[in-house]
Structure 1
Amino acid sequence: MIATDTSAQNLPRFCGVPTFMRAPLVTAHGEFDIGIAGVPFDGGVTARSGARYGPREIRNMSTMTRAIHHVTGFNPFAACRVGDVGDVPFTNLYDLEKAHDEIRQFLQPFFQNGKKMLMVGGDHSITYPIFQAMQPAEPLGMVHIDAHTDTWDTFAGSKFTHGSPFRRAVEAGLLDPRRTVQIGIRGAQNSDSGWRFSHESGMRVIFIEEFDRMGVEAVIAEARRVVGMGPTYLSIDVDGLDPVFAPGTGTPEIGGLTTRETLQLIRGLSGLDLRGADVVEVAPPYDPSGNTALLGATLLYEALCLLAESYQ
């Protein structure tokens, strides 16, 4: 296996053109095994916008990323070729459904060519067109870290906001609700329709209070039980963490996961059949410190390590 060209990682961190984790910018499918794509779109938000700036700031903060994992000793850049494929080139930012179609069209050739992909949002509405681009032969399982189930239906006349991607994915036969676990759910709602859809469709919903009672290791075991060894997707919304750790997000909810719990949880997914992953809802305008973007970059690296395992 040819490893990633990591020459840019030898530059001072403040030098060079920023790419995701200083991986090479790639344009041809033959140049990479795992691609990282920016999806700078927040036209599906129901509250505060700003996640459109997520990919840019995560690229910037990911210059802090080093190669070798301090817990596992694994170097994903040595295991396979990792490349930044750039951003989805939007031309229809003000038409939600057309913008989603542009996401699907941009990503679909990568999946068709057998690539594993990491997507950086952007709001959580982008995951539905990502699933469409993947065209899975069978419905995917999913580990979903979030404060919200994102299984609501229509909001302000649209069925495709960031509150509904997983309802749409189930309806389209792209996501298997019986192989879906949602972790960290919390916060009052004006309607219980999202919670009810998740429960009634068969999803395993772990509210934050149950997470606290179970502990991280038991939650990892439950997540692995639910998704099994079939094809699975990992979706990480940074509002799953407490806003003490991730203030730069559009829909913060008090009482969430800590950074240590989240990192432990993601690492516990090692060995699953992961076909793709995303990190979404980093909204840098609400966090001048840059810590939320640094968190996003760190979560991206952890997800990369999981996807790169299969190339060892």
Structure 2
Amino acid sequence: MTDHPTDLSAFSQPRYTEVPTFMRLPLATDWSAVDIGLIGVPYDGRVTNRPGARHGPRELRSQSSLTRAIHHVTKFNPFDAARIADLGDVRFERLFDGDGALDEIADFYARVRQAGIVPLSAGGDHTISLPILRGLVGEAGPVGLVHVDAHTDTWDTFQGSKYMHGTPFRRAVEEGLIDPRRTVQIGIRGPQNFPEGWDYSQASGMRVMFMEEVVERGIAATVAEARRVAGEGPTYLTFDIDSLDPAFAPGTGTPEIGGFTTREAQELLRGLAGLDLIGADLVEVSPPFDSAAITSTVGAGLMYEILCLLAGSLLRRRTG
């Protein structure tokens, strides 16, 4: 455990008080005292249909006030294992300059990497994973990817653009940010007008686990396959909320029926403990399409599960 545990003084206050931060954590201005940073990326400028994920970070912060410290299954306390803080949102000066906005995200995460901070990010549409990886991985070489989603997000172009929320992981392969042979895509489903994304993922060497395979094999076997593919090297985790069935997460831009339950999602994430995770994101929560904060509440709960994974990975790296 760290000698300087996370400041949890806000946990003793009523949940409806104070300025909302992720999980009621301190808002950090001094990054030198942070091991894991929670970050909002309020950007949805690359969606194909329903916008609204730009509001995701703010609502996820609000619902994450429900977070408590100790995991009820593992008894692990991530806040005792690492110094964790809210780093605020990526700030934009070129929001309507498409490539410029992505560059600003990448620049922010390059600073995060230089500070030695492990990021847990809240989107935002799934486009943000690409600039996050640009900043986080840089020229260090490709990393593994565990990608939980209803869609492969490996199209080539849409409406003339190579950069939108259906293309980030094709671009990430092309840019040498992820290793397709260490990439697993879990929960893929739903009809498409063209098989381009499925075909590219499989042809490039990614392991695509369609939802039907997940159901047939079960969560435990799915986890085992994900761990086999990712291996022991550095790995990034990305979780699209539309991997869940819309009965559990209606507030998202591209809902697909037949997805995970919340319990299955928890089991899946908990099974990834032990992977060498260098960062993670949870994306596509769209509050304007939500009902009674169902999706943002689920998203905040899953962010806690992911935080436990990141803190565990960090602790293992420290102790060897």
Shift, 1:101, TM fit: 0.5
Q: Which of residues 109, 112, 115 is equivalent to 1:113?
A: 115
1:59 equivalent in structure 2: 61
The 5 A counterparts of 1:172-191 are 172-191=175-194
Q: What is the CA–CA distance in structure 1 between the aligned matches of 2:259 and 2:94, rounded to whole Å?
A: 34
Q: What is the CA–CA distance in structure 2 between the aligned matches of 1:82 and 1:103, rounded to whole Å?
A: 21
The 5 A counterparts of 1:216-235 are 216-235=219-238
Residues 198-227 of structure 1 deviation map (CA, whole Å, 9 limit, x = unaligned): 000000000000000000000000000000
- Partner amino acid, structure 2, of 1:311: L
Q: What is the CA–CA distance in structure 1 between the aligned matches of 2:148 and 2:257, rounded to whole Å?
A: 15
Indicate the SS of the match to 1:177: strand
2:78 equivalent in structure 1: 76
Q: What is the CA–CA distance in structure 1 between the aligned matches of 2:188 and 2:103, rounded to whole Å?
A: 29
Shift, 1:114, TM fit: 1.6
Q: What is the CA–CA distance in structure 2 between the aligned matches of 1:58 and 1:210, rounded to whole Å?
A: 31
- Partner amino acid, structure 2, of 1:66: R
Task: Structure 1 unaligned segments of length 5 or more: list them.
Answer: none
1:311 equivalent in structure 2: 315
Shift, 1:136, TM fit: 5.5
Q: In the alignment, does 2:6 pair up with 1:12?
A: no
TM-score, length-scaled by structure 1: 0.99
The 5 A counterparts of 1:1-312 are 1=2, 2-134=4-136, 135=138, 137-309=140-312, 310-311=314-315
Q: What is the CA–CA distance in structure 2 between the aligned matches of 1:263 and 1:95, rounded to whole Å?
A: 37
Q: What is the CA–CA distance in structure 2 between the aligned matches of 1:280 and 1:210, rounded to whole Å?
A: 24
Corresponding pairs, count = 312
Indicate the SS of the match to 1:156: coil
Q: What is the CA–CA distance in structure 1 between the aligned matches of 2:30 and 2:159, rounded to whole Å?
A: 40
The answer to whether the Cα contact below 8 Å between 2:28 and 2:87 also exists between their aligned partners in 1 is yes
- Partner amino acid, structure 2, of 1:164: T
Q: What is the CA–CA distance in structure 2 between the aligned matches of 1:97 and 1:105, rounded to whole Å?
A: 12
Q: What is the CA–CA distance in structure 1 between the aligned matches of 2:251 and 2:12, rounded to whole Å?
A: 30
Q: What is the CA–CA distance in structure 2 between the aligned matches of 1:171 and 1:103, rounded to whole Å?
A: 19
Q: What is the CA–CA distance in structure 1 between the aligned matches of 2:93 and 2:193, rounded to whole Å?
A: 34
Q: What is the CA–CA distance in structure 1 between the aligned matches of 2:83 and 2:116, rounded to whole Å?
A: 13
Q: What is the CA–CA distance in structure 2 between the aligned matches of 1:88 and 1:114, rounded to whole Å?
A: 17
Indicate the SS of the match to 1:8: helix
Q: What is the CA–CA distance in structure 1 between the aligned matches of 2:29 and 2:110, rounded to whole Å?
A: 15
Indicate the SS of the match to 2:109: helix
The answer to whether the Cα contact below 8 Å between 2:32 and 2:115 also exists between their aligned partners in 1 is no
Between 5-14 and 91-100, report the one with greater CA deviation: 91-100
Q: RMSD of the alignment, in Å?
A: 0.9
Residues 262-297 of structure 1 deviation map (CA, whole Å, 9 limit, x = unaligned): 100000000110000000000001113101001110
Identity of aligned residues (%): 60
Moved over 2 A (4+): none
Q: What is the CA–CA distance in structure 2 between the aligned matches of 1:92 and 1:49, rounded to whole Å?
A: 19
